[in-house]
Amino acid sequence: MAITRFAPSPTGYLHIGGLRTSLYSYLWARKTGGEFRLRIEDTDLARNSEEAMKAIIDAFDWVGLNYDGEVFYQSKRTDIYKQYIDKLLESGNAYKCYMSKEELDALRAAQEAAKQTPRYDGTWRPEPGKELPPVPAGVEPVIRIKAPTTGTIEFDDGVKGHMKFDANQVDDYVIARSNGMPTYNFVVAIDDALMGMTDVIRGDDHLSNTPKQIVVYNALGFKVPKFYHVPMINNPEGKKLSKRDGAMDVMDYKRLGYLPEALLNFLVRLGWSNGDQEIFSMKEMLELFDPSNINKSASSYNGEKLLWLNSEYIKAVSNERLIEELKFFDLDLSNYPKKNEILDLAKQRAQTLVELKKSITDIIDIPTSYEESGVKKFIKEDTKELLEKYLLLLESNKNSLDSVEKIEEFTKPFINDNGLKFPQLFQPIRIALTGGTQAPSVYDIIFILGYDEVSTRINEALKRNFQNT
């Protein structure tokens, strides 16, 4: 049974990289019958954003990654952290450091000048037989943890394999600032231990934090969880993902017309696979996912693949679901007489819900203007006479407009009898009915709109002579 978590900082919106690691954590917890927790790491009070915090919760609600229990906020757990800081001080595994910022800056500058890795030099670290400097007046100390000075810090990573760090790569880092506020690596280790985390799945940008956190685990006698450090998502050129490439707020994907199922399907495949399978239901993800099969190399963001997946999901979900989704885009088809027919038609070509809405409104909205290039190309001297003849044909077949097949059945002979090519009739009709030349089949449009609306729109176009005046 795996207990996992996702622990974002509310200093910015939830991006897809974070959503992917939370998805992996969610799948592993659910597959094993464990727990998936959400923890907000909001100890950086100066950078926290209420708006960003709300957006994170909203994103989770939208994609349906339901977490167990309440949301944990680190800012509300400071008393707990201070208890463990005191324990470390009492046991001698942490100590007070009175080195000033100016002294630290000077130390760092000297180390850099000597081409050394900047690190704390242990001035205030207690050692047997060592005399510490006198405590300066009026200086509030920071608290540093005693990191090992020799040997190695090792762990088995579920993605990267056995990891080994020289102890000298981890210095006595600060676990509490001079104002008493605990620092990131310390509180993460405390929370993961107290929350019983068995598996920590996170981006490999956290890999260097892991030995620091293991120092805390070991100092307090906590069990070290299993770590899985997931490689980053790169852009198609193999560089860091930018907003232009897709690294945007998760809720932007909703605003752009993506279905959450499609986004999760896309993300699960960015770093994990099951043969050549591309489309996964949540049920299949839960059955097949194993974090030990996460790819060891970085994945590449493919916007075209996401669009394709989204189009497949739009075609697959129920019309009832699409009706509800389209309300977000200010389109309510609940009372439209042929809602199923128009959705069945429009969703075959739509890659996003935004495109779906446009395809629908192109048909149901009365055109206010006509595509000038289309008018110039397809509206000829005989068009008016031709459309008037076709309207008479429609009127005589009013009772046969209840299927696309019947409309086609009486229209094709009309085209042949008048020595026409299909565009000569269909493009003027399409322009009259929708304003443009790119809408779906004319047969489908006539079927959906019905005789009265078709007649009204064609007569209006003829009255205006297809002019936008």
Report d(CA 90, CA 219) in Å as an integer: 12
Same domain, 64 and 88: no
What residue numbers does the annotated binding site cover? 243
What pLDDT, on the 0 to 100 scale, is given for residue 43?
78
Domain annotation covers residue 217: yes
CATH of the domain at 396: 1.10.10.350
What pLDDT, on the 0 to 100 scale, is given for residue 45?
74
Same domain, 10 and 118: no
Which residues pair with residue 161 across a beta bridge?
157
C-alpha separations of 169 from 23, 112, 122, 325, 405 in Å: 32, 16, 14, 51, 75
Same domain, 55 and 193: no
Same domain, 345 and 370: no
Which residues pair with residue 203 across a beta bridge?
230
Reported as a single tens digit per residue, the pLDDT across 90-118 is 999 999 999 988 888 898 999 888 888 88
Helix (H) or strand (E) holding 444: helix 442-463
Same domain, 109 and 217: yes
Model confidence band, residue 246 (pLDDT cutoffs 50, 70, 90) = low
Domain annotation covers residue 142: yes
Nearest to 194 by CA among 75, 43, 37: 37
Same domain, 175 and 258: no
Domain annotation covers residue 450: yes
Reported as a single tens digit per residue, the pLDDT across 299-310 is 999 999 999 999
- Domain region containing 249: 1-71+231-316
| Domain total of the chain | 4
For residue 3, the number of C-alpha atoms closer than 13 Å in the C-beta half-sphere is: 14
What pLDDT, on the 0 to 100 scale, is given for residue 457?
97
Q: What is the 3-state secondary structure (H, E, C) of 362-393?
A: HHHCCCCCCCHHHHHHHCCCCHHHHHHHHHHH
Report d(CA 401, CA 387) in Å as an integer: 17
Same domain, 149 and 164: yes
Same domain, 407 and 444: yes
Reported as a single tens digit per residue, the pLDDT across 279-293 is 999 999 999 999 999
| Residue 179 near residue 46, CB atoms below 8 Å | no
What residue numbers does the annotated binding site for ATP cover? 243
Residue with tokens 């005589």: 396
Written as six digits, the tokens of 258 are 């993506």
Average pLDDT (302-331) is 97
Same domain, 114 and 220: yes
| Residue 141 near residue 97, CB atoms below 8 Å | yes
Helix (H) or strand (E) holding 193: helix 184-194
Reported as a single tens digit per residue, the pLDDT across 47-87 is 777 888 888 999 999 999 999 999 999 989 999 999 999 99
Domain annotation covers residue 102: yes
What pLDDT, on the 0 to 100 scale, is given for residue 245?
66
pTM for the predicted model, two decimal places:
0.90
Domain annotation covers residue 469: no
User: Given 207, 230, 253, which residue is the final one in a domain?
Assistant: 230
Which residues pair with residue 36 across a beta bridge?
4
**Amino acid in position 448:** I
Same domain, 312 and 328: no
Same domain, 82 and 226: yes
Same domain, 64 and 83: no
Domain annotation covers residue 468: no
CATH of the domain at 88: 3.40.50.620
